[in-house]
Amino acid sequence: MWRSQTLIVALAACLMAVAPAQAILNNTVTQWEAQAQQAVRSIGIQNQLSNRLYGLVALAQLHAIEKLSTLDPVIAAGGAGHAVLSILFPSNQSAEYDGLLKKQLDAATGGKALTDAQKAGLKAAAALAGDLVRNHTGGASAEYSGFKFGAPGPFVYQLAPGQKYALYPQLGNAKPFVVPQPELSAIVTNTDAAKGPVFKVPPISDYETARKLGANTTDKALGETALFWADGANTSAISGHWLDIAKRVLPSTLSVKDSALFFAKAFTGAWDASIAAWKIKYSTLHWRPVTAFRAGYTGPDGPVAADKEWTGFLTRTPPHPEYPSGHQATVGALLEALVRQLGTDKVEFSIGSEGTPFLPERKYTDLTTPAVEVGDSRLYGGVHFNTSNVDGLIVGRVVASKAWDSPFWNTKAAASAPAKASTPAAKPSAPKAGSPKPSAPKAGASPKPDAAKPAAPTDKPAATKP
């Protein structure tokens, strides 16, 4: 008897010590986004195109809910999500998408057969989704670019070891969802700091930090951070990683309509930010750390000898120009969307990593800290210089801010008034050697994004545009 009572008390103590599970947003919208994430994992869709996919799913759902206002939002959103993914990935339709839609329809009707009006609405939702997919795929993003590499030389982008092509040189000309191409071009080509950020390639002063921290390190903390946010093969990409964060920090009671609105605004902004980042990448054509360190260069204190054996911790360098970080353009856009939706940067959550299931979840008390940490992870991985991570985050936030405030969203579905505009995060200082956790900008700080902008190397030759 005594043993039984002791066991009960001990069990109760253990249960009390366990933190309550996070309530994760789970509704018709997020269920179709989860299916999109699975497509990204199985096919190997890169971060940039995954932004467009997640945006298409949510925007199609939003349009269906808005235009078919007499139809149950679950039926409208379910039909639209099913249509987007069935059009893009028809091999999954019977095995996965049909079953999910049936469950959602049964939930909406209580298991009863659809009425004629509901059948017509479902068909209309699919038609709207089809129009959206056709309007936002193909075009300039699918055109042959004819890109040619420039002659090897200091600062000039070249293929990294083992690479055979440059990724998406035409993406900068792709069709945006919300922010028009001329506005994106104005953002990335701005030369007046009084009007906004001025984007210039990393200065030579960045190089030594990247050489030391980005090498194939034995520092466990740095390596784990690099792997945690790498989100490479068999994951839903860094965009999917932050989609999962969104599901953990948004209210679990968010309606289907407002969920569609949020994810549409978040991922259309992320796609538009990717376009902006790619405009910069293929106009600056800046070399990757592995190219720089194996070739040698002239540093602030004189020539730096070539290190033919230098290898980054992440042995696979992304096959596109270095500046700015594509990871951070996406993260900056999604960070901006979440802060605008929640009205604050302060929110407690924990998140794991698809690519490193053997690592424990990481806990955060705000959104900016993990956003900056993603950039640090690219430095520790040896694929970026620090300025590229900082500026990538700024690109994402600036474009996402324009997308969020666009009159494009002045629709009946815009049920939630947007929060006050936030200012892109300040540039964090370069991480110090041996420090796995560089300090993040303080939440709520609003320094100008162009402040203390590093200058480009003065000996950098003019880049050859593709």
The pLDDT confidence band at residue 217, using thresholds 50, 70 and 90, is confident
The tokens 């209210």 sit on which residue? 251
**Range 34-58 average pLDDT:** 98
**Range 233-258 average pLDDT:** 98
The pLDDT confidence band at residue 410, using thresholds 50, 70 and 90, is confident
Distance, C-alpha 390 to centroid of its chain? 14
Does the pLDDT value for residue 167 go beyond 90? yes
The pLDDT confidence band at residue 187, using thresholds 50, 70 and 90, is very high
Handedness of CA 425, 429, 433, 437 (dihedral sign): negative
Select the CATH number that applies to the domain covering 151-466 from these four: 1.10.606.20, 2.30.40.10, 3.40.30.10, 3.60.15.10.
1.10.606.20
Q: What is the pLDDT of residue 431?
A: 53
Higher pLDDT, 442 or 386: 386
Alpha helix positions (H), 68-148: 73-88, 98-109, 116-136
**Range 202-213 average pLDDT:** 95
Among candidates 138, 456, 452, 424, which has minimal Cα distance to 285?
Answer: 456
Q: Which of 132-146, 173-187, 266-280, 450-464 has the lowest mean pLDDT?
A: 450-464
The pLDDT confidence band at residue 327, using thresholds 50, 70 and 90, is very high
**Range 315-343 average pLDDT:** 98
Write the CB contacts of 171 (distance below 8 Å, at least 6 apart in sequence): 48, 141, 274, 275, 278
Among candidates 274, 247, 405, 404, which has minimal Cα distance to 331?
Answer: 274
Q: Which amino acid makes up residue 137?
A: T
Distance, C-alpha 429 to centroid of its chain? 22
**Range 316-322 average pLDDT:** 97
Does the pLDDT value for residue 354 go beyond 90? yes
Give the pTM.
0.87
**Range 303-327 average pLDDT:** 96
Domain ranges of the chain: 23-137, 151-466
Q: What is the pLDDT of residue 300?
A: 84
Distance, C-alpha 93 to centroid of its chain? 26
pLDDT per position as a tens digit, 91-125: 999 999 999 999 999 999 999 999 999 999 999 99
